[in-house]
Amino acid sequence: MNDQKQLANFVQHMPKVELHLHIEGTLEPEMLLTFAQRNDIALPYKDIESTRAAYQFNDLQSFLDVYYLGTLVLREERDFYELAQAYLQRCKRLGIMHTEIFFDPQTHLSHGVALEVVIGGIHSALKEAECEWGISSAMILCFERDRDAESTVSLLHEALRIGDIVGIGLDSAELGNPPRKFQEVFQRAKTLGLHRVAHAGEEGPPEYIWEALDVLDVERIDHGVRCLEDPRLVQRLLRERIPLTVCPFSNVELKVFPNLKSHNMGNLLDAGLQVTINSDDPAYFGGYLNENIISTVNCLERDFNDVVLLQKNAIEASFCSRDEKIGMLARLERYIASFKFVI
Ligand code: ADE
Ligand code: ZN
């Protein structure tokens, strides 16, 4: 067996953790069209082929236009339930043992969909996956940085009243929307004992990563690939061991890098940063977690040690308890010990 095949085989069955996944970004064309018909929502796509053909992006904004259009079909609790259930079924097939899921409540509220409907649907699917397949998960409520920050604190309180939110995040159009606008809600989240993450340094400059750390006091940076432009920032990320949830397919599809070969994942690893690989919006970017890991590691000519390091980083960077992390590490170690390498 050649090395690439063996590495793919190793990744396929390795117990994994995913930390950067927008549940709305798992809406596959088949499901999009089914929900549109069921909820009587008119879309500009007539079939699966024309839907997939529309998934061509020049940058983050051109993607967000298509992504938010897709969210229009999510109306009822069962839509959110089925969406999350389909992703968790995939997690089972992909060997994902723990996943931390983002959702965008402001978008759904703007469509007239109540918060209970969104959280209730996702939460039921997560609990079911935990009971049936032992897949653990956490929900992270994302605020959209291109919207007003005004009602975010009350939205956060409302969400906490409804369900199991472990933390908050910041997503959507980065350029021209620096993190500081959301200082109040992030401060409140910290007071409430919630975890905090933010997309920064995806398209935006390193200054936005500084601001996410200094003003929002985040514990992880989502993407963060532009940190390498600022050596002082790299020193800070290293010193404080701030994890980066990098999404290689997303970065290529949104033209942050022209192709996978020119992705800076290898440089991030060589700098000693706590990087993890994730799928972001897999229905739109051509691959789920395993494909992201396998293609990136092969394309950048990295090896098994990097695959294991990336997974150990993800376990450490997760919002699981110390005991849960020890359990997941032990599961990973058992898998490595039992894997039959063919020489
Ligand atoms: N929302 C969904 N995917 C996103 C991304 N890659 N960046 C910012 N916001 C998003
Ligand atoms: Zn994202």
Would residue 316 show up in a list of annotated catalytic residues for this protein? no
Distance 209 CA to ligand 2 centre (A): 15
Q: Please, which contacts does 53-56 make with residues 24 or more away whose CB atoms are closer than 8 Å?
A: 55/284
Average pLDDT over residues 10-37: 98
pLDDT at 342: 82
Digit-coded pLDDT (tens) for 115-124: 999 999 999 9
**Inter-residue contact 24 to 68 (CB < 8 Å):** no
Is residue 336 predicted with pLDDT exceeding 90?
Answer: yes
What pLDDT is stored for residue 124 in this prediction? 98
144 CA: nearest ligand 1 atom: 9
The pLDDT score that the predictor gives to residue 1 is 66
For residue 55, pLDDT beyond 90: yes
Which of 58, 60, 251 has most ligand 1 atoms within 8 Å of CB, for mutation? 60
pLDDT tens for each residue of 286-318: 999 999 999 999 999 999 999 999 999 999 999
State pTM to two decimals.
Answer: 0.98
Given 28, 77, 100, 202, which residue is catalytic?
202
Protein residues whose CB sits closer than 6 Å to any atom of ligand 1: 22, 25, 60, 67, 171-172, 199, 202, 250, 280-281
Between the CA of 3 and the centroid of ligand 2 the distance, in Å, is: 31
End-to-end CA distance of the chain, in Å?
A: 8
Q: Which domains does the chain have, with CATH numbers?
A: 3-31+77-338 (3.20.20.140)
**Token pair listed for 186:** 């992030």
Minimum-distance ligand 1 atom for the alpha carbon of 24 = 2
Shortest-distance atom of ligand 1 to CA 250: 6
Q: Whose CA is nearest to atom 1 of ligand 1?
A: 172
Predicted pLDDT of residue 2: 80
289 CA distance to ligand 2 middle (Å): 13
